[in-house]
A and B are shown apart, each in its own frame.
Chain A
Amino acid sequence: MRMTVRTSLIAIGLSVAAAAQTFLAPSALAQKALPDPTAPTVEETAQGKTMNIQEVTSPGGIKAWLVESHANPLISIRFAFFGGASQDAPGKDGQAYFVTSMMDEGAGDLDAAAFQERADSLAMRLEFDASRDVMLGSLQTLTENKDEVFELARLVMTEPRFDEGAMTRVKAQILAGLKYDENDPATVASLAWDSVAFEGHPYGRPIKGTHESVAAMTTDDLRDYVRRVYARDKLVVSVVGDITPEELGKALDTLFGGLPEKSDLREVAEAKPPLGPSRKVINMNVPQSFAQFGFRGIARHDDDFIPAYILNYIIGGGGFSSRLMEEVREKRGLAYSVTSNLFPYRHGSVFVGNVATKNEALSQSLQVIRDELENVAEYGLTPDQLKAAKSYLTGAYALRFESSSSIANQLLWVQIEDLGIDYVAKRNALIEAVTLDDVRRVAGRLLTPDQLITTIVGQPVEEPVTAGAPARLPTPQNRLR
């Protein structure tokens, strides 16, 4: 197969006005700046900078998005296999996570120690991470070492050893980590929340596994996971840095050409978090209680996602500018941190927040949060609030493109979420297009403060329960041991 390169020029608009102007006519801009492949890929325009995203297809047919940048002598690669922890086999919680922890424990004819010394002397940075839906990989190399680093990474991808000795060692480390997590209020609250919101679904299972599942894990389990998930049909790649499309084409075949063509994934059902209210308290002897709260979210490809994203920013995603921060921290001093997030997983979306407050005042924090959610659900936003949110979200988008690895990360997630190569150029216009009515409608749909699922770890002093509450009890489930 011939190598192909397609180009999409995008501009990272900065001021709101400039952004709108840029994004109204992306094609005109693209023509004006169109690519001489040898020219620098980042160049100044009236609007700011343009970034040239090339879609490279290797001779072997592997695709990647590339932003060439020869300013620094390094290359950042991010890649992902669809699968993640939701592909853990039944009863084998923590399988994907275990695999990621074994990726630097030897490959080909190099045992763990030999591999690690080789990687170290090449200054190779290779990391793997298991999220719910994808296995994430990150590879960085200095330009001068790239050929040897790609060859070493190829061994990791295609010939991981999974030696017994290494497996025993890593198992002990994961178990020690689990032991630590058992006493960390934030982790315990989060696992408990997932087990309620995603009961019976893979998302409800702990990504790192349980003591029992990890202790029982075998090398066959690791190989089985790799066989099912590491395949070319479920791979996305983004690359930023000191490499040409031709060099990248060869590198892609080196890195991933040895993988099987087809994956063998289990079907994952759509998750439907139950409607609250429900509240679970896990007793832990700590002075400060940690609470996680939330409800169903809105999916990434739902037409209402962008308005929901803006709403989350305003409620608890916007750091010191968020309404929860204002009400809980700034006005009342009830917490150091209170945040919310919209997590649009592939098979189920949730809106989740958390707060940590001394035991005596936790119920006050939760009441303030609930009042605020009700307030937004009922009255929506003012024009000024929406304007401020748009101003931040459009302006700060450029901050995500600050370094090679952060650009690669952004482009990887655009691919994982299947938003299209022109998404970076369109994104601010999508934010700008949201109206007050959109936000109000979506607030009514998303924010259901009377259906909150809440998990609390600590020794909260409870306010008396008002009689007549419609209690919905979740199934008792305790992940602590």
Chain B
Amino acid sequence: MFKHWIAASRFRAGLVITLVSLTMPVAAIAAEARKAPAPAASTEQPAKERPAKKAFEFILENGLDLVVIPDHRAPVVTQMVWYKVGAADEPPGVSGIAHFLEHLMFKGTEKLPGSQFSKIVALKGGDDNAFTNQDVTAYFQRVAKDRLASVMEMEADRMVNLRLSETDVKTERDVILEERRSRVDNDPASLLQEQMMAALYRNHPYGIPVIGWEHEMRQLDREDALSFYRRFYAPENAILIVAGDVEPDDVLALAEETFGKIPRHGKTIERERPAEPKHDASVTVTLEDPRAGRTTVQRFYITPSYASAKPGEAEALDLLGRVMAHGTTGRIYKHLVMEEKAAASAGGWYSDSGLDSGRIGFYAIAGEKNTPEQMEAAIDAVVEDVRDNGVTQKELDRARTGLLAEHVYSSDSISRLARQYGWRLAAGMSVEDVEDWPNRLKAVTVDDVRKVARDYLVDENSVTGILEPAPEHTSRVEEKPAPAGKDKS
């Protein structure tokens, strides 16, 4: 699943964003969010048979949704808390506050003052981090199973007891501004994607970057963070996922002793987002930048996501995305790179995890002699063909085999499994929906795929982004003596 640069994480090592620089310099991929998980044996089961139950769900009295995924292969456990709030829930004028709050959640509570959270997890031999996107904010730890109780206590504590000092807030604001420079301002491809999203969404907040607009980030303060926190952080707005070497009843008991003690928020937690109007024109955004490597063309279409789709549509889009853009066997690569030689590399993705909409995207990176017009025309040709003629049964079967196999591969990692459930549940799906996904995928026909291609690969709902190198790129090297050491001269 692709996330442009719309997801931001607390630390570079956070798993949400990976830059793939050879074949897809412009594409950021969050592989772990790729698919809902399936039981390992699903590919060999008859289509109608229900897969074996993997996850156990409990709703605590205060509304907290607890999901336990036992896996006893290694004596470790992943805990994740998913808050159903993201950047698209921010009030106007404070873009970046959801992500800023995520950073500040590590700054202490009454019980654990100061920035001790991660240090204590490390003392317990664990790793921890967090990430924010348009629709969710998630915090996670990986620890030995006998440390679960204590990290759960800490996670529950910061759900409602955050304490922030003015100094910490100011210092951390500098950190997120540096984060923005690293992720966006230093990279023209990211700058262009930010502009493309802003152009694609005229009214819906998906057009505002998760990290925030710089001028608004500079103004974010302690009160902005706390009021956002008080509004959205509550047991009935959270999903707790525990995966690994644990038993469901034991985890339930632990959760009741910790998260279970937190009273309900009480007030209705509203996530009202302005809707996207009907689009009457497609948009093209061009960025000329001396730092651009090769000319790059990208095309995004607004589509349904798993959360917003009519039944069966997202599964069909998933398969369409794979037929169009999977690696070197997808139509985009084959047509642009192998046949037409219109690009050095090309590909695409289906971003399926949004609450209100998803996107299908394609990209092409120029070879030495390719022009943006040539690349755009070639992408248009592939899109037109699939809109008019759909896909073949053979293509559909291969795509389906591939998606189901990826499922088995990713179910092999406990932490990936936890994430996959998290993405889907946070978007409103049930555990049953998640576990039944292979069956729904098996039911998709070539007609279903042709229909979603015709309905959603619509010019008016698209944006085209062109990144072009400006001519005068020259780098210089300056040799300077190192400054003297302050006490070693």
Contacts and interface: CB of A to CB of B under 8 A. Distances in A.
Interface of A: 12, 14-15, 42, 48-49, 69, 71-74, 76, 101, 104, 112-113, 116-117, 120-121, 123, 125, 140, 142, 144, 169, 172-177, 179-185, 187-188, 192, 276-288, 290, 318-321, 329-337, 356-358, 370, 374, 388, 391-399, 401-406, 449-450, 452, 454, 462-463, 465-474, 476-478, 480
B471 interface: no
Contacts of B175: 329, 333, 335-336
- The number of chain B residues touching the other chain, given as a range, is 35 or more
A74 B426 CA distance: 29
B312 interface: no
Given A176-B344, A280-B479, A476-B479, A356 B367 contact: no
Interface in B84-118: 106, 115, 118
B151 to A, nearest CB: 12
B22 A174 contact: yes
Contact of A177 (B21, B329, B487): B21
Interface of B: 11-13, 21-23, 25, 40-41, 43-44, 73-76, 106, 115, 118-119, 122-128, 142-147, 170-179, 181-182, 185-188, 290-294, 326-329, 334, 337-338, 344-345, 365-368, 398, 401-402, 405-406, 408-409, 411-416, 473, 475-489
A194 B147 CA distance: 41
Contacts of B142: 399, 402
Nearest to B40: A72
B38 to A, nearest CB: 11
Given A279-B483, A281-B477, A358-B178, 5 more contacts: A14-B146, A282-B478, A287-B185, A374-B485, A404-B412
Contacts of A450: 485, 488
A177 B408 contact: no
Nearest to B103: A336
Most chain B CB within 10 A, of A177, A337, A401, A480, is at: A177
B70 to A, nearest CB: 12
B12 A117 contact: no
A175 B127 CA distance: 37
Contact of A123 (B127, B405, B479): B405
Nearest to B481: A471
Contacts of B127: 319, 396, 399
Nearest to B41: A73
A398 B402 contact: no
A405 B293 CA distance: 34
Nearest to B333: A116
B25 A469 contact: no
A72 B41 CA distance: 8
B172 A478 contact: no
B485 A370 contact: yes
B11 A74 contact: no
Most chain B CB within 10 A, of A179, A280, A477, is at: A179
B478 A281 contact: yes
A176 B76 contact: no
A333 B171 contact: yes
A283 to B, nearest CB: 4
Contact of B22 (A123, A177, A394): A177
Contact of B186 (A173, A287, A391, A466): A287
B482 to A, nearest CB: 3
Contacts of A370: 485
Contacts of B11: 319-320, 336-337
Contacts of A401: 74, 76
Given A287-B185, A392-B125, A476 B477 contact: yes
A157 B188 CA distance: 39
B477 A14 contact: no
Contact of A330 (B115, B123, B402, B482): B115
Contacts of A277: 481-482, 485
A334 B477 CA distance: 25
Most chain B CB within 10 A, of A71, A172, A334, A404, is at: A172
A181 B23 CA distance: 12
A419 B381 CA distance: 55
A30 B176 CA distance: 50
Given A333-B172, A391-B125, A395-B144, A181 B337 contact: no
A286 B479 CA distance: 19
B367 A280 contact: no
A391 B124 contact: yes
A281 B478 CA distance: 5
Given A14-B144, A279-B481, A173 B23 contact: yes
Given A120-B329, A281-B478, A476-B477, A357 B337 contact: no
B144 A468 contact: no
Contact of B367 (A74, A123, A176): A176
Given A71-B73, A172-B344, A283-B478, A469 B484 contact: yes
A396 to B, nearest CB: 5
B482 A276 contact: yes
A393 B125 CA distance: 6
B126 A402 contact: no
B483 A285 contact: no
10 contacts: A42-B73, A173-B345, A277-B481, A333-B174, A334-B178, A399-B127, A402-B142, A405-B413, A452-B482, A476-B479
A452 B185 CA distance: 28
B173 A333 contact: yes
